Chain A
Amino acid sequence: MAKSPEMEHPVKAFGWAARDTTGILSPFKFSRRATGEYDVQLKVLYCGICHSDLHNAKNDWGLTPYPVVPGHEISGVVTEVGNKVKKFKVGDKVGVGCVVESCRQCDQCNKDLENYCSKLVLTYAATYTDGTPTYGGYSDIMVVNEHFVLHWPENLPLGAGAPLLCAGITTYSPLRHYGLDKPGLHIGIVGLGGLGHVGVKFAKAFGSKVTVISTSINKKKEAIEKLGADAFLISRDEEEMRGAVGTFDGIIDTVSAVHSLSPLLSLLKPDGKLIVVGAPEKPLEVPIFPELITGRKMVAGSMIGGWKETQEMLDFAAKHNILPDVEIVSMDYVNTAMERLVKSDVKYRFVIDVGKTLKPQ
């Protein structure tokens, strides 16, 4: 007979979970496994609220096993390490992102691309190697295999830095992989939310000229004055779009709502690349001819990053002082935060102060 969440592991744990497709979160008692020889146990201090947390809470993608404890932008402090752990000790500041296990032996894993392993285990709403469900960072403690724990750079704030673990790597990785990190390139960022705003910061740090592409003029001032974007293009303004045709080396599209790719493709120079990181529910239409063929353009995807690159990204962010813009909230604000997130009413990521506000009931 399946054990209850409280009983299935020896260490008591506490968090907030969604129990059905309303997505409403409430206190939830569960348990964590004992710290295995390669495990790191950490007290969660902060956890970013990713839009994926909302999708999962409501089962928008049809994959959610309830109850679900979301959260995959986790920063914390080590409380215990297994006897074979080499990279961490008690008291270290650490981070955990979207993946807590992979097969560790396939071609992808061997190339530090655990995020593309066919057996990857997500930080929450997935099944761990011991058959139990994974629970994420809206909770007091985590136990994670050392391989998937990140060193937290000294000078990086634990609260504001937490969203780097998903939003950060999700935009950093494709900028690097697709060669869109060279100084002087003209990069477009579509959508100015959690992903988009961090994308702007990384692209600027790489020395690109950055244009934010958005449906709404309201975001223009902020994009340019606060985030440092060089220009702003309203995708609904045909004249503006026409004037920008063929001027971009690359575009990172963070928008997950269904939208037309054609206007974005026409913005690209020949050999330009449109990278999709937001995940729409339905197929999008790709105009193969003329755009892709006559301009040798490409549409490509990207999903988070491997552990090694995530560490590299964190270190890069610390070195170049790249910080997400966050609104720190208490645990019991989470449902309101989710409602505001649906309306994109946040600049630009909520981060839960788990350490101070998550209290067992």
Chain B
Amino acid sequence: MAKSPETEHPLKAFGWASRDTSGFFSPFKFSRRATGEHDVQFKVLYCGVCHSDLHMAKNEWGFSQYPLVPGHEIVGEVTEVGSKVEKFKVGDKVGVGCLVGSCRQCDQCTNDLENYCDKQILTYSAPYTDGTITYGGYSNLMVADEHFVIRWPENLPLDIGAPLLCAGITTYSPLRYYGLDKPGLNVGIVGLGGLGHVAVKFAKAFGTKVTVISTSINKKKEAIEQLGADSFLVSRDPEEMKAAAGTLDGIIDTVSASHPLLPLISLLKPHGKIVVVGAPEKPLELPVFPIIIGRKVIGGSAIGGIKETQEMIDFAAKHNILPDVEIIPIDYINTAMDRLLKSDVKYRFVIDIAKSLKPE
């Protein structure tokens, strides 16, 4: 007979879970596995609230396992390490992102691209190698394989830095991979939310000239004065868009709502690239003729491998790239989710787990 979440593992754990498609969170008792020889156990200090957490809490993608404890922008302090762990010791500050496992032997894994492994294991709501379901960082304790644990740099704030583990790598990786990280390039960022605002910061750090592309003029002042964008384009303004045609080397599109690609393709110079990192539910229409005559590229990207995630964290620490966050207690989570739905946050909520998550 299947064990309950509380009894399936030897270590008591506590978190907040969504139990059905309402996406409503409430306290949840469960358990964590004993620290295996390659495992790192850590006390969770902070956890970012990613929009994926909301999608998953409501089972919008169809593969959620209830009860669901989300959270994959997790920062904490090591409390125990397995006997074969080499990279971490008790007291170290660490992070865990969206993955906690992969096959470790396919072409992707051997090229440090665990995020493209067929058998990757998500940090929450996925079956682990022992058959149990993974629970994420809206909890007091995590146990993760050393390979998937990120070393947290000394000078990087634990609370503000947490969203780098998903939002950060999701935008850093395609800027690098698609060659949009060269000084002097013109890079557009579509959407100014959790992903978009961090993308602006990385793109600026790479020395590019950054244009934020948004449906709403309200975000302009903030984009330029707070985030350091060089310019702002209102995508609903046909004249502005026309004037900007053929000026961008690349675009990172963070918007997950369905939207037309053609206006964005027109903004690209020949050989320009648009990288989609937001996940629309339906296929988008692609007008093929413009991409042929301009030799343009539409590509995708999903988070990054562990090696690159570490590289990104170290880069952020070195260049002082920090997300803009609103710190909240765990019992604010349902309100936070309501606000997130309305994009009412600048630009990521981060749960102060250590101070506010109390077993009941």
Contacts and interface: CB of A to CB of B under 8 A. Distances in A.
A268 to B, nearest CB: 11
Contacts, number: 109
Interface stretch (B39-47, B73-81, B296-304): B296-304
A301 B293 contact: yes
A109 to B, nearest CB: 11
A286 B283 contact: yes
Interface stretch (B146-154, B161-169, B270-278): B270-278
Contact of B283 (A108, A288, A295, A303): A288
- Greatest chain A CB density within 10 A among B273, B290, B291 is at B291
Q: How large is the interface on A (under 10, 10 to 19, 20 to 34, 35 or more residues)?
A: 35 or more
B105 to A, nearest CB: 15
A296 B270 contact: no
Contacts of B246: 118
- Greatest chain A CB density within 10 A among B246, B273, B288, B297 is at B288
Interface stretch (A134-142, A273-281, A325-333): A273-281
B292 interface: yes
A43 to B, nearest CB: 32
B296 A294 contact: no
- Greatest chain B CB density within 10 A among A113, A283, A291, A303 is at A283
Interface in B106-135: 107-108, 113, 116, 118
Contacts of A303: 292-293, 295
A157 interface: no
Contact of A270 (B113, B270, B279, B293): B113
Contacts of A283: 262, 285-288
A288 B269 CA distance: 22
A262 B283 contact: yes
Contact of B286 (A107, A269, A279, A286): A286
A342 interface: no
Interface string B299-332: 1111000000000000000000000000000000
B286 A293 contact: no
Nearest to A302: B295
A300 interface: yes
A298 B298 contact: yes
Interface in B214-253: 246
Contacts of A269: 107
B300 A296 contact: yes
Nearest to A281: B289
Contacts of B271: 116
A116 B295 contact: yes
A226 interface: no
A271 B173 CA distance: 13
Interface of A: 107-108, 113, 116, 118, 177, 246, 261-262, 269-271, 276-277, 279-280, 283-289, 291-303
11 contacts: A116-B270, A116-B271, A246-B118, A279-B289, A279-B292, A280-B288, A283-B262, A283-B286, A300-B295, A300-B296, A300-B299
